[in-house]
Amino acid sequence: MPLYVEKKPEVLITEEGVRTDGRKPYEMRPVRMTVGILDKADGSAFVEWGGNKILAAVFGPREVHPKHLTLPDRALVRARYNMAPFSTPERKRPGPDRRSVELSKVIREALKPAIFVENYPGSVIDVFIEVLRSDAGTRVAGVNAASLALANAGIAMRGLVAACAVGRVGDFVICDPNHDEDMWGDADMPMAMLMESEKITLLQTDGPMTEDQFREALKLGRNAIRFLYEMQKEALKRPYQVIERSVRGAV
Amino acid sequence: MSDSVVLVKNREVVIPGQPLARGRFKLGRDVYRDESGIIRAKKLGLADIKDDTISVVPLSGVYIPREGDIVIGIVSRISGSTIMVDIRSPYQGVIPIPRGRATERVDMRKYNLKMGDVILAKVKAFDGSSSLLLTIDMEGLGKLEGGYLLEVEPAKVPRVIGKRQSMLTILKEKTHSDIIVGNNGRIWVRSPSLKELLALEKALKKIETESHVSGLSDRVSSLLSEELSR
């Protein structure tokens, strides 16, 4: 008998389009991004998004271990998505599972096109994404955090990668599904975009959508991602502005 | 479309992918031109516009060796004919131990190293990926003794040295210390007493965190005066 029983809400979305947490279909949960919070990592970022708390750390470019994985003409990019045992309502068995292996792969592939891997031949760039608290949409929050951590590490990139999930509940296309919508909604579509060219580097879909709904979802996702990109820019520049202000204030 | 536009202010903090300029400019370091001809930043850094060259001065990042660089390394392994040296980079440095006839023209006492020794070396050859050849076979290079090893981020090394060594001169004169700055961000210091060393450490920290705000030399100078007058 599980200690925690999930309960499906009676209505996921009202006819007027009010969601279980009071949001409108196109609204996002509150997001906060902080950069450079880990001392020992070359780059790091912390993203809080709704109930998600996600930490990303980047090490490298550094020497490849084990040696035989070395690529002579470019950098190897490795990503690990991991959920803490205490990140879910019930304890999650620690260690990689089917889901986290898949997410590690899609996150790595979402980030890789942004990195100038040819600038660091024979080295490795390690990206670690630790989910401390999960509340739907951890993979896209992880992509946002990892992209910030890469920039913070001073790695040569074509541009940042920003990500957001969209979905469908009944006839409504919704932005940034919450836990209930993720569990009982009709469709869920995480997506990531390389911001310099606005090319999509991650697109998964779980659940049926009509062609029109898909187009609408894509458009909604793109707009949400553009908004998140502005937050990323601000997060990256903020520490430097804070120092500049304190220095100027002291003079 | 007009032919040449600069889209950022000089010395502005820019992020990877940020458009810097469009049109006829030369590409400096850490920038690239995208398919539509816009010059964009590769790294988080400060935009640097000099005449018709656009570059980005990175604010962080690991040390990537270049031929001719002077680096401070730590001996990590000695195996038969080679000495492996850690230089805080994705690539390990290698110093071959001279053999046969070559031993006649070099000072073999220099190669009498053990693990953990700190050495000053020069990058002799680097193929960009795996083979990083160092040398200590030159006047002034070799084992460093009787001092302290400090570290700054490799990206901040140009700021520790300053224009025409201006910053380094301030540091040296104010603290009456011998300072050797390696391109890899390791700094060897021999100072008259602990007081100067601690002041220097604070000054380096200040350079590291405030390098993007102008007037750095003056602030470092006054910090050192204050610390040393105590």
What's residue A53's pLDDT? 98
Name the percent of chain B lying above pLDDT 70. Answer: 99
Last residue of a domain, one of B89, B111, B143: B143
Residue A4 maps to a domain = no
Q: Would you say residue B82 lies in a domain?
A: yes
Mean pLDDT for chain A?
A: 95
Do B131 and B180 reside in the same domain of the chain? no
pLDDT band at A115 (very low <50, low <70, confident <90, very high): very high
Q: Average pLDDT for residues B193-201, to the nearest whole number?
A: 94
ipTM of this predicted structure? 0.91
- Whether chain A has a CB inside 8 Å of the CB on B42: the answer is yes
The confidence score (pLDDT) of residue A216 equals 97
Which of helix, strand or coil describes residue B119?
A: strand
| pLDDT (average), residues A116-127 | 96
**By the CB < 8 Å criterion, does B44 face chain A?**
yes
Residue B83, domain member (yes or no): yes
The answer, yes or no, to whether residue A154 has pLDDT greater than 60, is: yes
Let me know if residue B87 belongs to a domain: yes
- Report chain B residues whose CB lies below 8 A from the CB of A158: 16-17, 32, 34, 40, 42
Residue A150 burial (10 A CB sphere; 0-12, 13-18, 19+): buried
Whether residue B135 sits in one domain with residue B112 = yes
Is pLDDT above 90 for B1?
Answer: no
Q: Which of B167, B230, B161, B166 is CA-nearest to residue B194?
A: B230
Tell me the pLDDT of chain B averaged across its residues: 92
Q: Does residue B4 lie within any of the structural domains?
A: no
Residue A141 domain-assigned? yes
CB contact under 8 A, B42 and A61: no
B99: confidence class by pLDDT, cuts 50, 70, 90: confident
Best B27, B44, B157, B184 member to test A by mutation, with max A CBs in 10 Å, is B44
- Residues in chain A within 8 Å Cβ distance of B223: none
- The pLDDT tens digits of the residues spanning B155-186 come to 999 999 999 999 999 999 999 999 999 999 99
Q: Are B109 and B90 in contact (CB under 8 A)?
A: no
The confidence score (pLDDT) of residue B2 equals: 56
CATH of the domain at A60: 3.30.230.70
In a domain, A17, yes or no: no
**Residue span of the structural domain in which B210 resides:** 148-229
pLDDT at position A121 is: 94
Residue A160 has its nearest CB partner, among B16, B34, B59, at B16
Tell me, yes or no, whether B116 lies in a domain: yes
**Which of A42, A158, A238, A245 should be substituted to probe chain B, the one whose Cβ sees the most B Cβ atoms within 10 Å?**
A158
Q: Give the CATH number, domain containing residue B17.
A: 2.40.50.100
What is the arithmetic mean of pLDDT over A119-132? 96
B19, B78: one domain? no
Helix (H, G, I), strand (E, B) or coil at A32: strand
B59 Cβ contact partners less than 8 Å away, ≥ 6 residues apart:
A154, A240, B13, B43, B44, B45, B46, B155, B211, B212
Number of domains in chain B: 3
Query: So what's the pLDDT on residue B102?
Result: 77
Contacts of B201 (CB under 8 A, 6+ apart): B150
* Residues B117 and B154 placed together within one structural domain of the fold: no
Check A122 against B130: CB less than 8 A apart.
yes
Q: What is the pLDDT of residue B43?
A: 97
Confidence of residue B51 (pLDDT cuts 50, 70, 90): confident
Is A86 a member of any domain? yes
Q: Using the beta-carbon criterion (under 8 Å), do B90 and A122 form an inter-chain contact?
A: yes
Please indicate, yes or no, if residue A16 is contained in any of the structural domains.
no
Given a contact cutoff of 8 angstroms between Cβ atoms, the answer to whether B90 and A60 are in contact is: yes
Give residue B4's pLDDT band: very low, low, confident or very high (50, 70, 90): confident
Average pLDDT (A236-249) is 93
How many residues appear in chain A?
251
Q: What is residue A74's predicted lDDT score, i.e. its pLDDT?
A: 95
Pair B99, B135 in one domain: yes
Q: For residue B64, is pLDDT > 60?
A: yes
Residue A1 pLDDT grade (very low, low, confident, very high; cuts 50, 70, 90) = low
Question: How many whole angstroms separate alpha carbon B28 and alpha carbon B15?
Answer: 16
Neighbours of A11 (CB within 10 A): 11
Q: What CATH number has the domain bearing residue B152?
A: 3.30.1370.10
For an interface test with A, the pick among B7, B31, B62 (most A C-beta atoms closer than 10 Å) comes out as B62
Amino acid A251: pLDDT: 59
pTM of the predicted model, to two decimals?
A: 0.94
Greatest Cα pair distance in chain B: 67
- Position A58 scores a pLDDT of 98
Decide if B65 is inside a domain: no
For residues A147 and A141, give the distance between their C-alpha atoms in angstroms, rounded to a whole number: 10
Instruction: Say what the pLDDT of residue B129 is.
Output: 79
Three-state secondary-structure class, residue A131 = strand
Residue B122 lies in a domain: yes
| Domains contained in chain A, number | 1
Cα(B201)–Cα(B199) distance, rounded to whole angstroms?
A: 5
By residue range, what is the domain housing residue A63?
31-250
Task: Report which DSSP code applies to B92.
Answer: -
Of B100, B116, B143, the position where a domain reaches its end is B143
- The answer as to whether B169 is a domain residue is yes
pLDDT at A169 over 70: yes
pLDDT for position A242: 94
Measured in angstroms, the CA of A112 and the nearest CA of chain B are apart by 14
Domain termination site, one of B99, B121, B143: B143
Where residue B107 falls among pLDDT bands split at 50, 70, 90? confident
